Structure 1
């Protein structure tokens, strides 16, 4: 039994091993530092297993991010925890998961739990232990905080359903964008085994919504929805292929988020891309997140952003600006009369500022000063907008001219792409971004 195997390892040592093993899961970001309270301020920062994310109301919250075990029966070539790697191994017990969660919560380090796992013995064996931990946490300890659990493909339907009534969010990692990539790098996994639990969660969520309409006190099943994760750069798929896969997942499975994880070279294997010294493809990950926002919030279709002839995103311009430059016949847009759907396509206008424009223009004509107050990023929008038939400055509606001027704005790119900083997007599918954040996406 797992309890017998782990008696010689202290819970602190397990925490160190299993938080480090969880750092490659990009569903949330880690604090990465330890800083105690010196008595002059409020709060503290704990290194082990604390990740920061955002709730639906915009609050920054902290989650305990750990693996239940880094033991694994699979030998995925890209994974640090694969069976053939010689790394320190550890497994928590259900009681230890409860103890850690409650003790971290009582110290005000966390507000919730993010629990993933390797595969110990079998998917059902591992998920049964995770279920025991969550059940005890919810019933014995009465923990009502946020819980996100990673479901293991191959787990029985009955067990997944029981878990879904304990967790707020459930996710099943797609791992790689295509079935061919899985066969190459994760031969123990198949696309069918991965998609089956996604479909189960989707169907059960719909049934649960109907149950809640009939019985208000009905227990909620995965109320925060499901998400998934793809590794980017380990296999040769183009951005065109990846964004089409993401679009299909949103449409067919009703996912809340697709996460993109830049491939990190942690193993040596002939099937993996050769080391180049350039590090993970963070700029590519960044562009995919921007395109993902366009799919989810800006009513774009994947086929509008890329084509088979032009299958990868522009390294210098974000996907929305790139689309606008390829469709200059649509512009300039008159801000006082344009449809909401067209305003969303103007670089510099986010979905929040587009909504503000539509509401405000009912009461009078808008000018560029009004747009600035509403959060419109005029340094981008001025090339594509008119107010009462006039542009902000005399500009040419020419691709080369606008491109040169947009590049002079110097968009903030990931580290390694101009030396700028990079921020991983949030775990949650939240409408929380203000105008400052909109500038990086819109």
Structure 2
């Protein structure tokens, strides 16, 4: 690797680190033409697949030159930073060389917008076409769509990549206009809709024509910056729910704003990224996608913000004690999922295990239930009656105290090792 390529890689990999939407799950691209690589069931950033495996991706920008001046972006045109740009061949060779050395399992490619959207999208398209057609690379490719690019370019790119994503940036149009006046949510909604229609069309054609090629087999995702504008958690999650519903997104990513500018429209420099809030948003997202919660149950006008000190599932349960305690031996699967301390896997095991007899506390613990949390919301064969008359504030204080005691115990055990 030449010194100049090494310098570009340092600049453009560092610029790409603010984009968190780089999951590599969902691809089924198989190597059946004696090429190089295999994107089936897998994806130099680390990301996670749906089954929990950690994979490595070469995560870079094609360039950090940009015609836009978004206040929250490190690559904005007014920012005095070192600029660089890869050529198409340089990205292709980096990907192939890193893959052959087993450094990476796939490519995540994004870019600043230079000249215009189509000019940038054309170069991204050239990269993925050259990898697939000339290098016969069959590994994972995640490509960021350029807002405002023509439908034809986006459609063609979808024939060669595994996942596409386009950043919503801010949760609301108002917030986006405040920090990026030249951008609009319409520029994101249109390509998301175009790609979604093409995915559906290709799937329908695949049912009758086996030779139909794959089109974005790992689906689409998007990302929102959290904390740069004053939206509530309710605003954020209602936007996410709308995009999941309208575009069948695989993921919405929530990126806590990292202060990089002295612009008076932004939070002050020196403040910490809202990592706890970011985590609570991901937990809420998980409840919506896998636990059957509607967004209005978790966040509404009466509760526009998530609790910082407890997770959103526990928060919902404490606000809805009229549904509890649930008899674990007769409750429906959907209601068991709503019990704090019980996850999807544990809920399934409970439904299966109770077919052979009524469950007891020791059995629930063996199944994987976090009983110290769940005990306030359930009854089983040998449950003590003492928890049934507690108020929400009491239950919350008990659970928080038990959590703090647990962490303190773990800290003491760690100290005893030295």
Q: Same fold (TM over 0.5)?
A: yes
Residue 279 (structure 2) pairs with residue 293 (structure 1)? no
Root-mean-square deviation (CA, aligned residues, Å) is 1.9
Gaps of 5+ in 2: 24-43, 411-418
Task: Give the CA deviation at 1:204.
Answer: 0.7
Is the CA contact (8 Å cut-off) linking 1:69 and 1:118 kept in structure 2? Answer: yes
Residue 130 (structure 2) pairs with residue 136 (structure 1)? yes
Mapped to 2, the partners of 1:142 and 1:370 lie a distance apart of 53
- Which of 366, 370, 377 is matched with 2:370 structurally? 377
Task: Give the CA deviation at 1:253.
Answer: 1.1
Post-superposition CA distance 1:390-416 (Å, at most 9, x none): 42573243212211111113379xxxx
Post-superposition CA distance 1:133-173 (Å, at most 9, x none): 11010111111111111101101001000111111110010
Task: Give the CA deviation at 1:372.
Answer: 1.8
Counterpart of 2:355 in 1: which secondary structure? Answer: coil
Mapped to 2, the partners of 1:59 and 1:231 lie a distance apart of 26
- Which of 211, 217, 224 is matched with 1:223 structurally? 217
Cross-structure match for 2:252: 258
Is the CA contact (8 Å cut-off) linking 2:22 and 2:142 kept in structure 1? Answer: no
- Which of 361, 370, 373 is matched with 2:354 structurally? 361
Is the CA contact (8 Å cut-off) linking 1:382 and 1:392 kept in structure 2? Answer: no
Post-superposition CA distance 1:286-324 (Å, at most 9, x none): 111110001100111111112213211111111000000
Report the count of equivalent residues: 385
TM-score normalised over the length of structure 1: 0.84
Counterpart of 2:225 in 1: which secondary structure? Answer: strand
Task: Give the CA deviation at 1:57.
Answer: 4.1
Residues 32-431 of structure 1 mapped to structure 2, 5 A cutoff: 50-275=44-269, 277-388=270-381, 390-391=382-383, 394-395=386-387, 396-410=389-403
Gaps of 5+ in 1: 1-7, 30-49, 413-417, 421-442
Task: Give the CA deviation at 1:9.
Answer: 7.6
Is the CA contact (8 Å cut-off) linking 1:114 and 1:148 kept in structure 2? Answer: yes
Task: Give the CA deviation at 1:28.
Answer: 4.2
Is the CA contact (8 Å cut-off) linking 1:368 and 1:392 kept in structure 2? Answer: no
Counterpart of 2:60 in 1: which secondary structure? Answer: strand
Counterpart of 1:65 in 2: which secondary structure? Answer: strand
Task: Give the CA deviation at 1:273.
Answer: 2.3
Task: Give the CA deviation at 1:339.
Answer: 0.5
Change (3 A) 1:94 1:342: same
Mapped to 2, the partners of 1:383 and 1:178 lie a distance apart of 38
Mapped to 2, the partners of 1:171 and 1:295 lie a distance apart of 21
Change (3 A) 1:14 1:393: farther
Task: Give the CA deviation at 1:59.
Answer: 2.4
Mapped to 2, the partners of 1:84 and 1:391 lie a distance apart of 64
Is the CA contact (8 Å cut-off) linking 2:259 and 2:271 kept in structure 1? Answer: no
Q: Which has the higher helix share?
A: 2
TM-score normalised over the length of structure 2: 0.89
Post-superposition CA distance 1:243-269 (Å, at most 9, x none): 111111111111111000101110111
Mapped to 1, the partners of 2:228 and 2:394 lie a distance apart of 37
Counterpart of 1:22 in 2: which secondary structure? Answer: helix
Mapped to 2, the partners of 1:314 and 1:191 lie a distance apart of 29
Change (3 A) 1:337 1:73: same
Is the CA contact (8 Å cut-off) linking 2:105 and 2:139 kept in structure 1? Answer: yes
